[in-house]
Amino acid sequence: MKSRRKTVFVLVLLVGILFGAMLLSTAIGAVHVSPLSILKMGLNKLHIAHFDPSWREADEAIIFQLRLPCVVGAALVGAALAVAGSLFQGLLRNPLADPYLIGTSSGALFGVTIAMIFLPATLSFSGFGIASIVAFLGALGAVFLVYTLARIGGRTHVVTLILAGVAVNFLLTAISWFLLDVVGELHQKASAVYGFLWGQIMGIDWNQIVVLAPIIFLGLILARLFASHLNAFSLGEEGAAYVGVNVERDKMLILALGAFLTACAVCIAGLIGFVGLIIPHALRLIFGPDNRLLLSASALAGASFLVLAHLVARTILAPEMLRLGILTALIGGPVFLYLLIRYRREYAF
Amino acid sequence: MSNLLMKDVSFSYSDGFALHHINLEVGAAEMVALLGPNGSGKTTLLKLAAGVLTPRWGEMLLGGISLRELSRKEIAQRIAVVPQYFNIPFAFSVEEVVVLGRTPFIRTLSGETERDYLVAKLALELTGMESFKARPFNELSGGERQKVILAMALAQEPRLLLLDEPTAHLDINHQVEILGLVKALNRQNKVTVIGATHDLNLAALYFDRIVLLKEGQIFADGTPSQVITSDIIQQVFSASVEVSQHPSAAVPQIVVLPEERRNYES
C-alpha cells in the first residue's frame, strides 16, 4: 500500500529530525560539548557500551542534570501542543483552531494569578511549583466551564463552544489583570505573570519529567486512537454519525484529551503560542489531512520545532534568554504567512 | 422480510413541526421514493430511519431489531446515508473519503485492513470514480462529489441506503447517472433504497414505489401509477398537472399546466 509506505517514511524521517534536534540542543550552550561525546555519554549511562571519557565530569553533569531535562521538557511541550492543536482543528473543522481557543490559556492565567496573590510561592508538590499546579487546574477548569456553558439539551454545538470559549477567555483574562492591578506588589507579581504568559522552559529537573512524560505519552497515544473518528468528523457532525461515530461522546473525549494535553504543556512552560496552530496546519498542507498520519507527525514535528526554538531562545541573546513564546510567534508568524501565500488555493473551500 | 418497519411513529421538533403516525413497511430490495412539498417531513423521516433522530412515540425496526437497541456503529454497519452534499473543509483525497465509509467496521487498535481497502476500491469502481481516487475531494464538480459520496455510502456495505435529495443540485445528466447507479445497486446487490426527491418524473421512472407526504403524514403510498395522478398531485402540491404515459416505460409522467391556462379553463 502506497499510503502506508509514505506514512512509515514520513514518521522515520521525523523521528530522525527530532533525535538530531535534541542532540544539537543538548550540545550547544554556555558550555559546548560535541554531539559525539554526548552520544558516548548516553551509551555509557545506558550500559550499552563503555567509552573512555574524553570529557570533564562537570560537563556530564551539565548535560544530564541541567540541559537534557529542559530539552526533553521542550519536546514534550511541543508534542502536546501540536497534537492538541490537531485534535481541535479536526474536531472543530477549522484550520485556525488552536489549543487555547476554548479556555485553557485564560484558565491557566487565572490559576497563576490566584497562586501568585493568595498562595505561598514556596509551596510545591513532587517538583512542581504551586503556580504550575494551579495553572494546570485552571486550564482544565476553564474548558469544563466552556463545555458546560455550550451544552444545550444533551448536545454541544461547535459554534456555541467557540463563542463560549472566546467569552470565557476575555472574562478570565480581565479578572486576572484586575486582581493584579488592585492587589499590591503589582510590579513583582505582574512581571512573574508576564513571564508565564510568554512561556519559558527553564529549571526543569528529572522529577518533573518523570511525572509528566508518562502522562503526556498516554495522552498522545489516546489521541492517535481517535484518528479515524477525527477523519469522520470532517464530514460534519451529522456525516460523522452516518458513518457510525457516537458524536457527542467522541466530541467530549477529544475535547477533554486536547484540554488535558494543553494543560500539561502549560504546567511545564506557561503559554507558548503558535506551535499548536502552525504545526498541524503546516503538516496538513504538506502531507494531507489524514489524521492517522497527521497526529503522529504533529507530535514529532511539534517536539522538534520547540526543541529548536528553545535552543535559539537561549543562545541568540546569551547569556540573556529570549522568551520562548515570543520566539515561536516571531518564527511562526512569517512561516504561517509563507504557507498562506504558497498554498492559497487550498484555502478556497 | 421487511427491512425497515415504522410502527405508528410520531416525532416533533421544538419549533412545532411534526411527523404524525407514520406507518411504513419497506421490504428487502425495495426501491422507494419519498415525495412531498418542502416541509412535508421527507428529511425528518429519513433522519428517523437513519437513527440520528429518535421518535417520540412508536417503534422503528430494522431487520426485526429495534433501532433503539443498536449502537451508532451498529446502525452505520447496516444503513448508509447520502445527503444533498457534504462540505469537507480539508483536502482529503477521493480515496480517503471513500475509506471513511469503512469507519463503522474499523477496530480502534488494528486500523484499516486489506479488506477495508478492497471494499473501498470496489465502491470506487462501481461508481466509475476509480480514476479520481488521488484527486482532492473538494476540487471535484458537484456531480463527481455526489458519486464519491455514493461510493462512500457503498463502502459501508449497507442493507438500507437512504438518499436525501442526492441530485438536488445537479444537472440532468448527473441526476440520471446517479439514479441509474442506485437502481443498478438495488437490482444487482439487493440494497434497499429509500430516496427523497422533488422530481416526480424521475421518481416515477426510477423507483418502484412512491410514498407521498403531506404536512407530516403519509398521504399516498403505492406504485407510481397509483400515486402520480393529477388529482393527488393537485391535493398535495396545489399544482395543476396533466399526467401522461412515458413514451417508452410504463410509468406516468407529469406536465405542469401554467397558471394562465388553469385560470382560463376554470
User: What pLDDT digit, counting tens, does each position of A151-210 carry?
Assistant: 887 788 888 898 999 999 999 999 988 888 887 666 667 777 777 788 888 888 898 899
What is the domain count for chain A?
1
Task: Answer yes or no: are the C-beta atoms of A75 and A306 closer than 8 Å.
Answer: yes
For residue B27, the cross-strand partners are B2
Q: Do residues B250 and B226 lie in contact, with contact meaning Cβ atoms separated by under 8 Å?
A: no
Burial grade of A52 (CB within 10 A; 0-12, 13-18, 19 or more): exposed
Cβ neighbours of B256 (radius 10 Å): 13
Residue A349 is predicted with a pLDDT of 47
Number of residues assigned to chain B: 266
Q: What is the pLDDT of residue A186?
A: 60
Q: Which residues contact B158 (CB under 8 A, 6 or more apart)?
A: B78, B79, B80, B191
Parallel, antiparallel, or unpaired: how do β-strands B65-66 and B241-245 relate?
A: unpaired
Model pLDDT, residue B150:
95
Residue A346 and residue A287 in contact, taking contact as beta carbons nearer than 8 Å: no
Q: What is the pLDDT of residue A323?
A: 87
Tell me which DSSP letter residue A67 carries: I
Residue A185: its pLDDT value, please? 63
Kind and range of the H or E element at B20? Answer: strand B18-27
Q: Across the interface, do A231 and B100 touch by the CB < 8 Å criterion? A: yes
Q: How far off is chain B from A151, nearest CA to CA, in Å? A: 17
Nearest 10 degrees: Cα torsion A112, A114, A118, A121: -10
B-facing residues of A in 3-22 (CB < 8 A) are: none
A311 contacts: CB under 8 Å, gap ≥ 6: A21, A24, A25, A28
Residue ranges for chain A with pLDDT beneath 50: 1, 349
Nearest chain B residue (CA) to A244: B73
- Residue B76 CA to residue A307 CA, distance in Å, equals 43
Angle between helices A324-342 and A291-315 (to 10 degrees): 130
**What is the value of pTM for the model shown?**
0.91
Q: In angstroms, what CA-CA distances link B67 with A8, A240, B50, B70, B72?
A: 41, 18, 9, 5, 10
B90 and A244 in contact by Cβ < 8 A? no
Beta carbons of A246 and B73 less than 8 Å apart:
yes
Q: And the C-alpha cell for B213?
A: 407526504
* B91 Cβ contact partners less than 8 Å away, ≥ 6 residues apart: A284, A288, A289, A346, A349, B136, B137, B138, B139
- B76 Cβ under 8 Å from any chain A Cβ: yes
Residues 6+ apart with CB under 8 A from A286: none
Secondary structure (H, E, C), A100-119:
CCCCHHHHHHHHHHHHHHHC
A239 lies within 8 A of chain B by CB: yes
Tell me what pLDDT residue A2 has.
58
Instruction: Quote the pLDDT of residue B157.
Output: 95
Question: B85 at the A interface (CB within 8 A)?
Answer: no
- Indicate the residue of B75, B96, B117 with minimum beta-carbon distance to A290: B96
Instruction: Give B164's strand partners.
Output: B196
Choose among A239, A244, A292: nearest Cβ to B72.
Answer: A244
Chain A CB within 8 Å of residue B104 CB: yes
Q: ipTM of this predicted complex?
A: 0.92
Taking an 8 Å cut-off on Cβ atoms, the answer to whether A228 and B80 are in contact is no
Enumerate residues 9 to 38 of chain B having a beta carbon within 8 A of any beta carbon in chain A.
Answer: none
From the list A232, A246, A346, the residue facing B91 with the nearest CB is A346
Q: Touching check for A96 and chain B: CB below 8 Å? A: no
pLDDT per residue rounded down to tens, chain B (266 residues): 568 999 999 999 887 778 999 999 999 999 999 999 998 999 999 999 999 999 999 999 999 999 999 999 999 999 999 998 888 988 899 999 999 999 999 988 878 889 999 999 999 999 999 999 999 998 999 999 999 999 999 999 999 999 999 888 888 999 999 999 999 999 999 999 999 999 999 999 999 999 999 999 999 999 999 999 999 999 999 988 999 999 998 899 999 887 665 555 54
Chain A and chain B share a number of CB contacts under 8 A equal to 85
Tell me the C-alpha distance between B117 and B96, whole Å. 10
- Nearest C-alpha in B relative to A228: B103
Question: Residue A154 sits in a domain of what CATH number?
Answer: 1.10.3470.10
pLDDT in tens, B120-131: 999 999 999 999
What is the chain B residue with the closest CA to A285? B91
Task: Please give the full DSSP string across A265-283, using - where no structure is assigned.
Answer: HHHHHS---SHHHHHHHHH
Question: Best mutation site among A233, A235, A243 for testing chain B: the one with the most B CBs within 10 Å?
Answer: A243
Cβ contact A245–B101 (<8 Å): no
Instruction: Say whether the peptide bond before residue A319 is cis (omega within 30 degrees of 0).
Output: yes
Q: Could you write out the DSSP letters of every residue in B199-238? A: -HHHHHHH-SEEEEEETTEEEEEE-HHHH--HHHHHHHH-
Q: Which residue segment(s) compose the domain that A227 sits in?
A: 2-347
| AA letter at A111 | G
What does the alpha-carbon distance between residue B249 and residue A15 come to, in Å, rounded to a whole number?
64
